[in-house]
Structure 1
Amino acid sequence: MKHSLNILFLLAAITFLTGCWDKRELTDLSLVSAIGIDKGENSKYVMSFQIVNPNNATGGLQGGQGGDRPPVTNYSVAGNNLTEMSRHASTKISRELYYSHTNLVVVDEELAKDEGIVKILDVFDRDTDFRSTATIIISHGNKAKDFIKALTPIDKIPSNKVNKTLQFTEKQLGEHMKTSVQDVIKCLTSQARHPIVSAFRLKGSPQKAEKMENVQSTAPEATVEADGLAVIKEGKLVNYLEGKTARGVLWLRNKIDRTYITLQLKHERHSVTYDVIRQKTQVSAKLKNNRPAISVHIDVEGDIGEIGVPVRLEDPKVLNHIEKMVSQELKKELKHTIDVVQQNKTDVLQFGDAVYRSYPGIWKKIEPKWSNQYFPDLDVDITVNAYVRRTGLRNNPNILNHKEGRS
């Protein structure tokens, strides 16, 4: 009896086994690592696919013909919508396009300005194979297909190079930000939040960038570089933020990890470098004259990275003076960033979220008018407390003091 029950149980369990009915062989798939979308000439769009060549993407140069082959292959297809282009790609590619490994979407600057990115993102949001965590960037000054074709040294897969660059520069410099397709979609569904997307530029000749000779050189003639933040409003590209203005956005959003601030000491510009090692930004909302206002409080800690003038860093008065200069310089930088985004009526600082958290009832009334009426005139109060934690191995720059004595 017990034996019969075991057999019956095993037979019942078989009905729940799915087997390999939906298997996909690697030899039948084209792994798409990046997608580029341009504005077409005779069609609405041009879609470019960066497809990984598995045999060439692993290991170093092996000599012979195999080592001279690129790690990726690129194809471009014209069409009136992204689904159409994906299907028509079958006329050029002998394998099924597989999007689960796609980690980069490149949008042409001209397309982002004229038509916007809403229709493009709708396709990616619906596709069951595509991962919405893929990074999205704007191709600044170049066609997306030229950017997609560019080969990169060190990182063999160009899409990986872009993602690693964004991760590294966000932590070390704070002027760029890694933004996913999912992040942009969330911002676009709000009337008060405006997405920011990192922009990249292809420096050098696009023709040379796609040649293997470019990456086999010790000094590549064409490179891809991060190039500021693109501001999106109502789904379209409206502006770029660069340098300290872009850094101010990340600072006010508490995204800064490491960066630096240069100061003027003894009437000599850039004579002190303050190396930021940690910071914390707190943004809160309050009511002022029955209107929303914002308070920003920042605590920043750093080390003395460089000194270009003779000073005695063991003197507490000197360090206190440097801390005050850091506070003043950072406050000035952040005020400039706020002025720029308020003039553009783009709340990339997400101050609206602070108002919503503190005053949800008021926010419900003002949300439709936030970007164009309330945000441009928003009163923002900034408080910065800076601290010098370390001065390096030497308190006194002996070399500079020696030169000062001789002169």
Structure 2
Amino acid sequence: MIKKMSLMICLLLLSGCWDKSELNEIAIALAIGIDLIDDEYVVTAQVIVPSELSQNGGTGNSQITMLKAKDKSVLGAINKVTEASPRAIYPGHLQILVFGETLAREKGIVETVDSFTRNWEVRSDFFIAVAKDTNAEEILKVQTPLEIAPIHMFYSIQQTAQNSGKSVRISLIEIAQELEKVGKQPVLAKVELKGDTKKGASKQNLEGINPEAHLNMSGLSVFKKDKLVGWLEQEDTVNFNIITNHLKSTVDTVSCPKEGNIELRINKAKSKLKGNVINGQPKIDMNIKLSGNINAIACDIDLQDENIIKELETNYEKQLKASMLKTIKKLQDEHHSDIFGFGRTIYENDPKGWNKIKDQWTEELFAELEVIIEVEATIKNTGITNNSLLGNVKD
């Protein structure tokens, strides 16, 4: 980690952004947490400790430190953090911005997003997450074994979204655009603190093989306008990514014809939506095409039989369709939030129809929306062995 952070500072020097004296005057912020406590914004900045990243080696203390301040406005709290630091806070290499749950639910995030988008020093490629059941400060305090917390969260969101589809990578510019879209509600990544939260902030969390506390980045946070209204877990998050064409890869299981199941690696998914309004009633037609390979088999099956492959594809199509309808129903009944952009699809396909229903969309008509789903699944590769090894073992 020390080598990695030292390399990052060297790259900053080589980039020509600052000279040596300027680097000595700034504090590089890797993470910022924003909470709401007693109707005040509390900003926590996690910054690099330069002395711990020197080529001669540090003292063995933490490579990052926390600075905190509060104010009636986001900018006021950020300014106070800078005033409390011997160095100017530089956000140009921010990895993660975390909102506390109370702030996201009660105040909303628009003021913070607007403030950050107007800061020319802030790059827009960091990720944003919402802390579930806790505040942002507690999340940033957690000691993580492989990477410091900001880098851990950044790469965890990136890898979870890319390899399993169980999280979402939302940057500053993307959430700013989502907040302005017609007929679509925003989402952000979700972060949870699991385990012994008191020990998570101590060095003890790094000393054992199994950390007492850890951060979980799967799932997503659901918004209505700029306020948090709920959460989605892993299966629903994968469905969201499929519907919105953000899925890169995921692993799922499908039932075998008789008993047991097969694990599939889905590596391609394409969603097409069409929407219109007929006699005042909105309707969405959805076509999902997926393809993937067989990863593992836990049943006695003949993969050389084309009919068997077709049956597996049909089983998976039915299974995924049922799962998607369940996810959509959850958003309609529990959260009343159109995160899929069904309203935007109607707006683009049938603008006249949309103008007639837009005022009743999220509160009334979205809850009653009929969604017709068609799924086409293709298994392209069965692996290096044609048949299941399970049959040979049983014999």
Same fold flag (TM > 0.5): yes
| Residue aligning to 1:360 | 351
Secondary structure, counterpart of 1:167 in structure 2: helix
Does 2:114 correspond to 1:118? no
| Residue aligning to 2:44 | 48
Distance 1:30 1:250 in 2: 36
| Residue aligning to 2:297 | 307
Distance 2:145 2:59 in 1: 14
Does 2:234 correspond to 1:243? yes
Kept in 2, the 8 Å contact 1:175–1:244? The answer is: yes
Distance 1:303 1:57 in 2: 45
Over the residues paired in the alignment, what is the CA RMSD in angstroms?
A: 2.5
Secondary structure, counterpart of 1:268 in structure 2: coil
Q: 1:219 to 1:22 in 2, by over 3 A?
A: closer
Deviation by residue 1:179-207 (Cα, 9 ceiling, x = unmatched):
12322222223453211111101223344
> 2:154 is matched with which residue: 137, 150, 163?
163
One-letter amino acid of the structure 2 residue matched with residue 203 of structure 1: K
| Residue aligning to 1:73 | 65
Distance 2:355 2:161 in 1: 34
| Residue aligning to 1:106 | 98
Distance 1:58 1:277 in 2: 43
Does 2:200 correspond to 1:200? no
Deviation by residue 1:30-57 (Cα, 9 ceiling, x = unmatched):
111111111224x612210100124535
Distance 2:75 2:351 in 1: 40
Kindly state the Cα deviation for residue 142 of structure 1 after the two structures are TM-superposed: 2.2
Does 2:33 correspond to 1:36? yes
Distance 1:380 1:191 in 2: 19
Kept in 2, the 8 Å contact 1:57–1:72? The answer is: no
| Residue aligning to 1:135 | 127
Please give the TM-score of this superposition, normalised by the length of structure 2: 0.88
Secondary structure, counterpart of 1:183 in structure 2: helix
**Unpaired segments ≥5 residues, structure 1:** 1-19
Distance 2:160 2:247 in 1: 10
Distance 1:261 1:55 in 2: 47
Distance 1:365 1:31 in 2: 50
Distance 2:18 2:270 in 1: 52
Q: 1:160 to 1:58 in 2, by over 3 A?
A: farther
Does 2:215 correspond to 1:215? no
> 1:265 is matched with which residue: 240, 243, 256?
256
Distance 1:174 1:144 in 2: 24
Q: 1:67 to 1:88 in 2, by over 3 A?
A: same
Does 2:392 correspond to 1:402? yes
Q: 1:209 to 1:287 in 2, by over 3 A?
A: same
Q: 1:38 to 1:277 in 2, by over 3 A?
A: same
Distance 2:103 2:60 in 1: 34
Kept in 1, the 8 Å contact 2:291–2:378? The answer is: yes
> 2:216 is matched with which residue: 216, 221, 225?
225
What count of residue pairs does the alignment treat as equivalent? 378
> Over alpha carbons, which structure has the higher Rg?
1
Kindly state the Cα deviation for residue 325 of structure 1 after the two structures are TM-superposed: 0.5
| Residue aligning to 1:12 | none
Please identify, of 342-351 and 111-120, the stretch whose mean Cα deviation from structure 2 is larger. 111-120
> 1:148 is matched with which residue: 132, 140, 151?
140
Does 2:163 correspond to 1:172? yes
Distance 1:326 1:54 in 2: 53
One-letter amino acid of the structure 2 residue matched with residue 53 of structure 1: V
| Residue aligning to 2:306 | 316
Please identify, of 87-96 and 348-357, the stretch whose mean Cα deviation from structure 2 is larger. 87-96
Secondary structure, counterpart of 1:392 in structure 2: coil
Secondary structure, counterpart of 2:380 in structure 1: strand
